[in-house]
């Protein structure tokens, strides 16, 4: 295994699957139960905020009962023990990377355990339910609090930092993502263009599998710790 100095890791719902967090596109996934247009767009929130709040309240409540799995812990170990740089860019809105000890994490699609005020832009850690009656702790106005997540049609967070990291990476890992949502699904092409070695670690080949130099298939809780072990040896 060659030595890699700057490692960028993209994660998706698949890395949290073995923690009991539902993925989106697996047969019993979230999009089998809800339509994206009803719960994960700004239009949906404008049209029926109570329905959108119910969708995220259910996921926020479920989050209190989940724990990181071996894959999350392996990435935290890599950040601790690897001399070079390790950056986790996650599409997930759960807090399992941080719970496992990762510190250098970018939540490009936001965070379930944060609320954002549409009136004043303040962000607050949030573990309880949200509703249209919720008032913002900063500006006091009601009817403006929303989950601090990026919906379809909205700009993902911290893209400039992500593209800068991809342009400097010498190793790009993609873990547990179907490679269907952009711009995240395009990151492998950016990393490859920058000369990085690209590896997909996923239960099965993703839509973008052919774009990777290397693909490793299996449950993240098994293949990620094994790969990290090889990187650190
Ligand atoms: C945007 C937060 C403008 C909310 C989410 C082309 C260019 C740019 C945009 C677009 C484009 N074409 C279309 C678009 C628009 C759209 C888009 O991509 N639509 C798709 C449906 C075609 N994109 C957007 O709207 C984005 N914004 O484009 O702004 C712009 C344009 C250019 C540049 C900058 C900005 C915003 C998208 C963000 C939406 N918010 N989540 C919430 O969570 O409720 S998306 C949501 O689904 C997730 O966050 C995640 O990002 C996404 C994909 O889910 P995955 O994580 O991949 O999960 P999935 O279930 O799909 O797959 C799981 C995988 O794990 C599977 O492969 C499975 O096999 C594997 N697996 C399962 N178990 C395991 C496992 N692997 C390992 N171990 C296991 N145990």
pLDDT in the model for residue 130: 97
**Active site residues per annotation:** 109
Task: Report the pLDDT averaged over residues 98-127.
Answer: 98
Does 69 contact ligand 1 (Cβ within 6 A)?
A: no
Give the tens place of pLDDT for each residue, 38-52. Answer: 999 999 999 999 999
Mutate to test the pocket of ligand 1, among 35, 152, 179, 206 (most ligand atoms within 8 A of CB): 152
Quick check: 180 and 205 in contact, CB under 8 A?
Answer: no
H/E stretch holding 78: helix 70-81
pLDDT in the model for residue 116: 98
pLDDT in the model for residue 64: 93
CA distances from 25 to 20, 124, 179, 181 (A): 15, 29, 11, 11
Q: Which residue has the least CA distance to atom 51 on ligand 1?
A: 91
Give the tens place of pLDDT for each residue, 193-202. Answer: 999 999 999 9
pLDDT in the model for residue 195: 98
For the CA of 186, the nearest atom of ligand 1: 7
Per-residue confidence band for 9, with pLDDT thresholds at 50, 70 and 90: very high
Mutate to test the pocket of ligand 1, among 20, 71, 183 (most ligand atoms within 8 A of CB): 183
Q: What residues contact residue 96 under an 8 Å CB cut-off, 6+ apart?
A: 15, 16, 19, 21, 66, 67, 68, 69, 72
pLDDT in the model for residue 59: 95
CA distance linking residue 12 with residue 92, whole number of Å: 6
Task: Report the pLDDT averaged over residues 154-162.
Answer: 98
Q: Give the global pTM.
A: 0.97
Task: Report the pLDDT averaged over residues 9-32.
Answer: 94
The residues with which 117 forms a beta bridge, in sequence order, are 145
Give the tens place of pLDDT for each residue, 44-87. Answer: 999 999 999 999 999 999 999 999 999 999 999 999 999 999 99
Q: Which residue has the least CA distance to atom 13 on ligand 1?
A: 182
Does 25 contact ligand 1 (Cβ within 6 A)?
A: yes
Q: Which of helix, strand or coil describes residue 32?
A: helix
Q: 98 C-alpha vs ligand 1 centroid, how far in Å?
A: 20
pLDDT in the model for residue 100: 98
pLDDT in the model for residue 206: 96
């Amino acid at each position: 295994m060659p030595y890699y100095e700057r490692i960028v890791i993209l994660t998706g719902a698949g890395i949290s699957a073995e923690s009991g967090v539902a993925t989106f596109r697996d047969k019993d996934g979230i999009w089998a139960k809800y339509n994206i247009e009803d719960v994960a767009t700004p239009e949906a929130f404008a049209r029926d905020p109570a329905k959108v709040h119910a969708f995220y309240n259910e996921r926020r409540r479920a989050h209190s009962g989940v724990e990181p799995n071996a894959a999350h812990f392996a990435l935290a170990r890599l950040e601790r023990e690897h001399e070079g740089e390790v950056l986790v860019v996650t599409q997930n809105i759960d807090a399992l990377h941080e719970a496992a000890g990762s510190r250098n994490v970018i939540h490009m699609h936001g965070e379930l355990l944060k609320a954002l005020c549409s009136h004043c832009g303040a962000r607050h850690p949030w573990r309880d339910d949200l509703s249209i009656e919720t008032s913002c702790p900063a500006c006091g106005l009601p009817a403006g609090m929303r989950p601090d997540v990026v919906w379809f049609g909205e700009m993902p967070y911290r893209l400039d930092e992500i593209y800068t990291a991809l342009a400097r990476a010498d190793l790009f890992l993609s873990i547990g993502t179907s490679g269907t949502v952009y711009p995240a699904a395009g990151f492998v092409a950016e990393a490859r263009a920058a000369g990085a070695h690209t590896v997909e670690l996923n239960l099965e080949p993703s839509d973008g599998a052919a774009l990777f130099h290397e693909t490793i298939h299996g449950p993240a809780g098994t293949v990620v710790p094994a790969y990290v072990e090889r990187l650190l040896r």
